[in-house]
Structure formats: structure tokens, C-alpha cells
Amino acid sequence: MRRPTLLPMVALGVVLAGCGVNQTPEPEPGPELPRCVPDRDGRITADELPISLGATSTFYASPPGVTRTIDLAPDDGRWDLSTEYADDLVLELGPAPLRDQWYASAFPSGAFVVDAGAGLDGIYYQDAQALWLDGTASREMSPSGGRTLVRYAQPIAVLRFPIIDGDTYAASAELVDSTVAGLPLQGTDEVEIEVRGGERLDVPYVRFSPVMQVRMRVTRTPSTGTPVVTRRTTIFLFECFGEIARAESRQDEPLADFTTAAYLRRFALGVSP
């Protein structure tokens, strides 16, 4: 079984060279994978959510503009996201070093980036207390829809350690010298978090047990007359694997356990992109 986003597993190969001088350039070293064995104790510590820069794992993802009907309410502590869709995309995703990105100088405290969907990257660092979000940026320097570069006055704790059932918290941060889709933006982002422990999550061809469901609600309040925007994201985590599934709502979704996902992503076992 391969490991998803925050600690992806990669295939390790052995190259046997014959006698004589090898004129072939040495390959770049692969990502170093931390050793982590799930103890299934119903809590996730920072050590059980390690970061392996440059490693990737495979996910099924809904195509842009395509919604999925889902059930995020637990059924006796179990969730089922195992339905297969003929139009699913197969993606390789994983954390990348911040230093390699065009926007690196704007986030001096950041350490790595993760795909945030819609052509955006989330910029993070992690310590023993939390996984911290420094902001978001366009993956491309000059995208057709206009550049996005959102920086926070202070990072937001999006996952607080240990991650345990029943934990709730909220945090907010002001936007500093920020641009969204090519337009300047001032205001505040607020993140509300609720954690639910569960017995099991089913995705195609594999079950994870126990899991943590993390429900996030993000509210962006501009300082001008621009309307307030809210969006919900639900992720599922498993010890030493990290994120195994993600569902994102449509804008201004009222239900915490929303039933229509604007974007759905799940770990894909044994699938090649």
C-alpha cells in the first residue's frame, strides 16, 4: 500500500552495474521517507504526520466543473467514499519544496507547498504544535486568469496537534499586500475547525481504520464592499499516511456535512496516472 499526500510512498529500485567505469550520470537521490508505523490509538501527533518533500502518491479526482453527490455524515463511525466514476482523473500529488516556486521570497517562514486546487498552491510549515498555513499563490507566475498571492500577517493553524476526536478551534489572520485573480485585496480570512474521530473510511479497493475527519469552514471578509465568501472543506486523515480523501463544497454552502462536492479527491490504490 502506498502512502498519500503528506507522507507519500515511492517505489525504490536497485541498479546493478557491471564491471568497469560507469559513464552514466548518477541519478538525483529520491525523497527520504521517514519511518512511521500507525499505532491506531485514535490520535495523530506531529510525528505521525511527517512530510516527505518531493514524494508523490496517486489520487482519483473529479474533473473541473463536475460535482459529486457524497455523504459526509458518519454511519456508526463509518464513511463510504468508495464509489468509482468513469470520468475520474488520476493525479500524482505530494508536497514540494517552497524554494523551487516563483513566490518563495514572499513566504520567508514557509517550508513546503501542497496543491490547493483551482491552479493554486497552499504554503505551509509544520512544527510540534500545528500545521501552519502562510498563504496561497498561483502555481504559475502569470496565469491567464490573473495572479493570486495571498499572504497572512500571521500563519493560521489549520491542523493542531494532537489531532483528536471532538477538538474544535478557530483562527483568523489579516491579508497583507495580497492579490486575487490579478486584483488587490485587503481583508481577513477566518478558519473554523472541527475534528471527528471515526471507525473507518472506505475508498476504492481499500479501507482505512481508524480515521480522523476534519471539517473546515473558511470565511473571507474583504475590507471593502466586496461580498463575504465562505467555503467548506472536509478531509480524512490516517496515521503516517496523511490525507486520504478530500471533499470541497460549493461557495457559501450552509451545511457542514454537505452532500454536493464541487471537488472530490481520494487515495487511489495501485493505480498509475
Instruction: State the pLDDT at residue 88.
Output: 97
CB atoms within 10 A of CB 166: 8
**Which among 170, 174, 176, 219 is positioned nearest to 195, based on CA atoms?**
170
pLDDT tens for each residue of the chain, 273 residues long: 434 444 333 222 222 223 333 333 344 455 656 688 999 999 999 999 989 898 888 999 999 999 999 999 999 999 999 999 999 999 999 999 999 999 999 999 999 999 988 889 999 999 999 999 999 999 999 999 999 999 999 999 999 999 999 999 999 999 999 999 999 999 999 999 999 999 999 999 999 999 999 999 999 999 988 899 999 999 999 999 999 999 999 999 999 999 999 999 999 987 766
Residue 31, domain member (yes or no): no
C-alpha cell at 273: 496516472
Instruction: State the pLDDT at residue 5.
Output: 40
Name, in order, each residue with C-beta under 8 angstroms of 272's C-beta and a sequence gap of 6 or more.
Answer: 58, 90
Instruction: State the pLDDT at residue 25.
Output: 37
Number of domains in the chain: 1
Residue 4, domain member (yes or no): no
Residue 261, domain member (yes or no): yes
Structural domain span for residue 130: 43-267
Residue 249, domain member (yes or no): yes
C-alpha cell at 79: 464513511
User: d(Cα 51, Cα 212) in Å, to the nearest integer?
Assistant: 18
C-alpha cell at 185: 485585496
Instruction: State the pLDDT at residue 54.
Output: 87
- State the residue for C-alpha cell 486520504: 244
Instruction: State the pLDDT at residue 273.
Output: 64
Residue 21, domain member (yes or no): no
Residue 250, domain member (yes or no): yes
Residue 55, domain member (yes or no): yes
Residue 272, domain member (yes or no): no
CB atoms within 10 A of CB 89: 14
